[in-house]
Chain A
Amino acid sequence: MEVELPPGTTSPSAIQKAAYRLAPKVSITIIGLSDAKITVEVATKGEFVESEVLSEFREFLTDYTLREKISEKTEGVRTLLLAQAFSSVLNSYKDELHAQEEG
């Protein structure tokens, strides 16, 4: 089954993440990518019901798209926080080594 996703509502990476999470239930492949739309092919696995799986896919897609928005806003801050958190650990370790050498 082919599903068309409107442009600007999601991204290939969000689709891939949703597909990854649903991998036991469904196989999802991006078969078309243009400014007008993204087309994915959806193949349900085993006994799973197609309509339920599609519904789940759309929910995950919404969430992973949201997560990309969050990441875009905050990833730089996260990098700074990690740098601030762990550079001081490195500095403390260097100070300790220096003290040991002098002592």
Chain B
Amino acid sequence: MNYTLKKKGKFKSQGDLNASSSYSTLPFRFERLPGNKVLITNDVGEYAVILTDELTQLVDGTALSPSTFAALQRIHVVSKAGDSSAYSLLSLKLRKRYAHLCEFTSLHMMVVSLRCNQSCPYCQVSRQSEDREKFDMSLETAQASLEHIARSPSKQLKIEFQGGESLLNFELIKEIVGLAKSTIPDDKSLSFVAATNLTFIDDEIIDFFGENSIHFSTSIDGPEDLHNNNRPFYGKNAHQLVTENIRYIQERLGSDKVSALMTTTQRSLNRGREIVDEYVRLGFNGIFLRSLSPYGFAVKTKTYYEYSADEWLDFYKDTLDYILELNRRGHRFEEYFTQLLAERMLNQGGTGYVDLQSPSGCGIMGVVYDYDGKVYTSDEGRMLSQMGDSALQLGHVSDSYNDLFCSEKLYGLLSDSLAQSAPMCSDCAFVPWCGSDPSYHQSTQNDFVGHKAYSGFCRKQMGAFHHLLNIFESRKEDREIIESWIN
């Protein structure tokens, strides 16, 4: 649609020269910001910030100031009358934005054992005690899983060994690595990672991991007292064991061969800075500020309910500020949740983070092969099943690839998970940066889509987006630091 002001006389008025008055409007969403400002986003996540009055002008199609017009033109929300290039560019960007869907499943998680030697109250998995070997994956199940993995169209495959404690079935890990190299076609890249609590390690494990480029992924919740409170280990000092083993791996294989995650508990909320200091002390280059998930023992022990989304947001903002302060002082240290969001907001880039995709990454970015052969759309789906809800189970490894990945169940889930169609999300300016988390909503509201006004996931995401927008728009140095994490 074109809107043209009537001109009087031969010459343009000063107002005509100062305003852009003839333009077409392309689709956009908006969200009000503090300070009389409005966020405008397009369908691929490019954004501009304009004034409240200018929103009214934009909606009515009346004249915009040149600077506002330029900002909106850059993100293809307006285009000059007769100029169709914006349409081509935007459709190209849309295609690129969703190109990853053609890659299909790249992350394959194999639960080699449900046994665990720790008893973390917030454990998302309903772990089993160490001596029950019937909770180990069999070789036959592993082989069947690998056949499905080999069928994935993705050119870059990652196999993640999960648990329980994955190293309790190290023998099977060795078998799987060997089999994978002969089963997976040569034209695909293959990488491995093992999620482990690192309470035990030996040279055989380290040598094998080094020879096969297997990455260690462990958990460190913070300083010793915090970690040991969160992750008790039957009278032993879990923190001491883990940190010693981290150091050993770093010395033997290199710092880049081991990474750590933290989980925020109620005890963590006012200790973000100490947690970061611990990560720095251990030689890590970054941290993922992760909130509790509503599954498994975290729900049974009510650990999940110990804090609200708003309390976690306060923790996140304060800890991120501290991390930015470290960077300003010359110590490069990244926050990975911020990095994910910034990649979306500033580069409109896709990320491999399964929990923040629309459509959901369940099944199509990641899939789980459980110890007993059941196949789930995600690790959260596995956890829900252990809580008695099999809504996110796709089938069994004995099923055909088509039955697992081309099922009406998966199509229905993916269809429901499209945030652009969901109530409240469809109008939200943050939707190009956000995603759906059907597992979270199934667990908390017994519904894949969920009522977002009641959703802790939504509250957390919106809070984080608002905070980062404020940084990008008003804190130049901090914006540059975060940009350095993604470029």
- Which residues of B (71-98) have their CB < 8 Å from a CB of A? 87-88, 90-92, 94-95, 98
A21-B424, A74-B25, A89-B102 known; A81 vs B43 contact (CB < 8 Å): yes
A66-B55, A81-B43, A86-B95 known; A75 vs B451 contact (CB < 8 Å): no
Is B244 part of the contact surface with A, judged by Cβ < 8 Å? no
Is B87 in contact with A84, judged by CB distance below 8 angstroms?
yes
* CB 8 Å contact bits of B424-435 with A (1 = contact, 0 = none): 100100000000
A19–B1 Cα distance when bound, in Å, is 31
CB distance from B364 to the nearest CB of A (A): 15
Q: Total interface residues on A, using CB and 8 Å? A: 27
CB distance from B152 to the nearest CB of A (A): 16
Is B28 part of the contact surface with A, judged by Cβ < 8 Å? yes
Is B453 part of the contact surface with A, judged by Cβ < 8 Å? yes
CB distance from A68 to the nearest CB of B (A): 9
* CB 8 Å contact bits of B410-426 with A (1 = contact, 0 = none): 00000000000001100
Partner of A20, one of B90, B99, B423: B423
- Which residues of A (53-86) have their CB < 8 Å from a CB of B? 59, 63-64, 66-67, 69-70, 73-75, 77-78, 80-82, 84-86
Residues of the A chain whose Cβ atoms lie less than 8 Å from the Cβ of B88: 84
Query: Across the two chains, which residue of chain B brings its CB closest to A89?
Result: B95
Partner of A24, one of B25, B43, B423, B454: B454
Query: Across the two chains, which residue of chain A brings its CB closest to B55?
Result: A66
Residues of the B chain whose Cβ atoms lie less than 8 Å from the Cβ of A51: none
Is B5 part of the contact surface with A, judged by Cβ < 8 Å? no
A21–B98 Cα distance when bound, in Å, is 28
Is B59 part of the contact surface with A, judged by Cβ < 8 Å? yes
A24-B454, A81-B94, A86-B95 known; A74 vs B27 contact (CB < 8 Å): yes
Is A37 part of the contact surface with B, judged by Cβ < 8 Å? no
Is A49 part of the contact surface with B, judged by Cβ < 8 Å? no
Partner of B43, one of A17, A78, A93: A78
Residues of the A chain whose Cβ atoms lie less than 8 Å from the Cβ of B91: 81-82, 84-85
A88–B91 Cα distance when bound, in Å, is 10
Q: How many A-B contacts at CB < 8 Å in the complex?
A: 72
A23-B453, A23-B454, A70-B59 known; A85 vs B94 contact (CB < 8 Å): yes
Q: Total interface residues on B, using CB and 8 Å? A: 28
A78–B87 Cα distance when bound, in Å, is 9
Query: Across the two chains, which residue of chain B brings its CB closest to A64?
Result: B427
Is A66 in contact with B59, judged by CB distance below 8 angstroms?
yes
Is A42 part of the contact surface with B, judged by Cβ < 8 Å? no
Is B95 in contact with A85, judged by CB distance below 8 angstroms?
yes
Is A85 in contact with B424, judged by CB distance below 8 angstroms?
no
A93–B95 Cα distance when bound, in Å, is 13
Is B144 part of the contact surface with A, judged by Cβ < 8 Å? no
A62–B214 Cα distance when bound, in Å, is 55
Query: Across the two chains, which residue of chain B brings its CB closest to A69?
Result: B59
Is A85 in contact with B92, judged by CB distance below 8 angstroms?
yes
A66-B55, A66-B59, A67-B427 known; A74 vs B26 contact (CB < 8 Å): yes
Query: Across the two chains, which residue of chain A brings its CB closest to B24?
Result: A77
Residues of the B chain whose Cβ atoms lie less than 8 Å from the Cβ of A5: none
Is A81 in contact with B87, judged by CB distance below 8 angstroms?
yes
Is B32 part of the contact surface with A, judged by Cβ < 8 Å? yes
Residues of the B chain whose Cβ atoms lie less than 8 Å from the Cβ of A22: 453
Residues of the B chain whose Cβ atoms lie less than 8 Å from the Cβ of A86: 94-95, 98
Residues of the A chain whose Cβ atoms lie less than 8 Å from the Cβ of B28: 70, 74
Is A82 in contact with B94, judged by CB distance below 8 angstroms?
yes
Partner of A21, one of B1, B55, B92, B453: B453
Partner of B451, one of A23, A69, A74: A23
Partner of A17, one of B90, B427, B451: B427
A67–B31 Cα distance when bound, in Å, is 10
* CB 8 Å contact bits of B194-220 with A (1 = contact, 0 = none): 000000000000000000000000000
Is B27 in contact with A81, judged by CB distance below 8 angstroms?
yes
A66-B55, A70-B59, A86-B95 known; A20 vs B453 contact (CB < 8 Å): yes
Q: A73-B61, A85-B98 are in contact. List 13 more A-B contacts (CB 8 A).
A: A21-B453, A66-B59, A70-B25, A70-B30, A73-B25, A73-B59, A74-B26, A78-B43, A81-B90, A81-B91, A82-B91, A85-B92, A88-B95
Closest 4 CB pairs of A and B: A85-B94, A84-B91, A78-B27, A85-B91
Q: Which residues of A contact B (CB under 8 A)?
A: 17, 20-24, 59, 63-64, 66-67, 69-70, 73-75, 77-78, 80-82, 84-86, 88-89, 93
Q: Which residues of B contact A (CB under 8 A)?
A: 1, 25-30, 32, 43, 55, 59, 61, 87-88, 90-92, 94-95, 98-99, 102, 423-424, 427, 451, 453-454
5 contacts across the A-B interface (CB closer than 8 A): A20-B451, A64-B427, A67-B30, A74-B26, A81-B26
